[in-house]
Amino acid sequence: MDSNNGKPTKLWDKGIETNKLVEQFTVGRDREMDAFLAPFDVMGTMAHITMLQSIGLLEKSELDTLLAELKKIYAVAEAGNLKIEDDVEDIHSQVELMLTRSLGDMGKKVHSGRSRNDQVLVDMKLYLRHEVKQIFSLVSNLYKTLIELSNKHKDDLMPGYTHLQVAMPSSFGLWFGAYAESLTDDLRLLSAAYRIINQNPLGSAAGYGSSFPLNRTMTTKLLGFSDLSYNVVYAQMGRGKTEQDLSFAMAALAQTLGRMAMDMCMYNSQDLGFVHIPDEFTTGSSIMPHKKNPDVWELVRGKCNRIKALPTDLTLTISNLPSGYHRDLQLLKEQIIPVISDLKECLILAELMLKNTEVKKGIMNEPKYQLAFSVEVVNKLVLSGVPFRDAYKQVAFDIKNGKFKPETNIHHTHEGSIGNLCNDQIDRKFADVAASFDFESVEAAVAKLVK
């Protein structure tokens, strides 16, 4: 089939009909996954042909015509309306087919100096860069909510636990602030992954460069990348490594979210009752009319456990592969793209649930939490001159013999304690890591290219 006649053809077609079962198996879920890559594939093509014109492989009039058509295609893709036809292998083939249908032989010139290998590399880097920005924004929203709740509830005490047993006094301010600071460290990993992602592989072709005098620095600037993946073999080796590096940051975020979800499931239970989730944010039972289940938090916990498995999944896919391209790498898209959607959804729902959760006051006044103040009594004795080990034994003796009297007037002042949350310092840490992302320069480059 000839794309001159407006019919789909494979970019690698040599006139030999591929076995249908083989074709279905090798294409796999590419059409489904490539729908996420559509606007980024168009961006990569726009940058590439601009560079081709600069080295004499396109006329200026051809470039202008191609860019005008690509901007139309980009608008369709950006709106989520670019469909990959059933007989078309992937997004790269679809875009070239659309150009050829509209512009004839001119549309066939856009592939000079590149391969589908570096096309999908740059598509994935642009897509992942975009998704990191989305994740960062959602993490920022959740962080702000946690800090606000920490400040609001800094004086609301709750029991702290070790070994799932009541240990020492804590506070909701301390609990909310802990997860805020955890997100700050998670963002450090995300920032490192972002810097790896934000390097340009375009021009590496099939992994061994091109005899055309490509200007890879030019496409780097056009696409807003901070640097190049210079060595073309390494650029190709970045397929899978890039996804793996990002997956570690995603798993760290999932660990924070999953642990918070588990806490909220426990704190919402009738046995503890530390928090109240309004009815409209819970689900019910088909036979027990009293049930108000924290299903959102349970699903967040379950999804985050799956997200934490992503680094292992990706590692197994790329294990034992030599350098160069291999079709195994196609599977990476269907591993990471749906999980990114899951992570974003968990971040959105976690913020929603926290904003609508009520904190119970006066929890530590309940008699069952009296022993949580044992360390306060020990410390009071130490401050009066009793050696710590003697004070410890004395309080242990009183507890054993039912003579213990709690010291509920707690006074913690050191950095990061109940009376000194250091949320301002945590804000500073968050601002420092947030500044390591250069989203503004990326947005400016992309806007200039596509608009």
Q: Mean pLDDT in the chain?
A: 93
Q: How far apart are CA 123 and CA 119, in angstroms?
A: 6
Report long-range pairs for 291-299 (Cβ below 8 Å, ≥24 apart): 294/264, 294/265, 294/268, 296/349, 296/352, 296/353, 297/261, 297/262, 297/264, 297/265, 297/268, 297/353, 298/261, 298/265, 299/349
Instruction: Find the catalytic residue in 285, 341, 436, 441.
Output: 285
Domain with CATH 1.10.275.10 in the chain: 3-112
User: Average pLDDT, stretch 325-336?
Assistant: 92
Contact 221, 258 (CB under 8 A): no
A 10 A CB-CB count for 166 gives 17
Name the residue with tokens 């659309």: 98
pLDDT digits (tens, 9 = 90+) for 113-169: 999 999 999 999 999 999 999 999 999 999 999 999 999 999 999 999 999 999 999
Domain with CATH 1.20.200.10 in the chain: 117-158+168-364
420: tokens are 């000194």
Decide if 92 is catalytic: no
Q: Is the pLDDT of residue 291 over 90?
A: no
Per the model's pLDDT, the better-predicted residue between 84 and 22 turns out to be 84
Decide if 163 is catalytic: yes
* Least confident residue range of 3-12, 142-151, 218-227, 320-329: 3-12
pLDDT digits (tens, 9 = 90+) for 18-31: 777 887 777 777 78
Answer CATH for 3-112 from 1.10.8.60, 3.30.2130.30, 1.10.275.10, 3.40.50.620: 1.10.275.10
User: Average pLDDT, stretch 400-421?
Assistant: 93
Q: Is the pLDDT of residue 3 over 90?
A: no
340: tokens are 């990114």
pLDDT digits (tens, 9 = 90+) for 169-209: 999 999 999 999 999 999 999 999 999 999 999 999 999 99
Q: How far apart are CA 53 and CA 204, in angstroms?
A: 18
pLDDT band at 2 (very low <50, low <70, confident <90, very high): very low
- What is the SS3 assignment for the chain? CCHHHCCCCCCCCCCCCCCHHHHHHHHCCHHHHHCCCHHHHHHHHHHHHHHHHHCCCCCHHHHHHHHHHHHHHHHHHHCCCCCCCCCCCCHHHHHHHHHHHHHHHHHHHHHCCCCHHHHHHHHHHHHHHHHHHHHHHHHHHHHHHHHHHHHHCCCCEEEEEECCEEEEEEEHHHHHHHHHHHHHHHHHHHHHHHHHHCEECCCCCCCCCCCCCCCHHHHHHHCCCCEECCCHHHHHHHHHHHHHHHHHHHHHHHHHHHHHHHHHHHHCCCCCCCEECCHHHCECCCCCCCCCECHHHHHHHHHHHHHHCHHHHHHHHHCCCCCCCCHHHHHHHHHHHHHHHHHHHHHHHHHHHHHCCEECCCHHHCHHHHHHHHHHHHHHHHHCCCCHHHHHHHHHHHHHCCCCCCCCCCCCCCCCECCECCHHHHHHHHHHHHCCCCHHHHHHHHHHHHC
What percent of the chain is predicted at pLDDT more than 90?
A: 84
Supply the pLDDT for residue 227: 97
pTM for this model (two decimals): 0.92
pLDDT digits (tens, 9 = 90+) for 413-427: 999 999 999 999 999
Q: How far apart are CA 380 and CA 299, in angstroms?
A: 44
Angle value at C-alpha 187, between 185 and 191, nearest 5 degrees: 125
Under CATH, which number does the domain 117-158+168-364 receive? 1.20.200.10
Supply the pLDDT for residue 281: 87
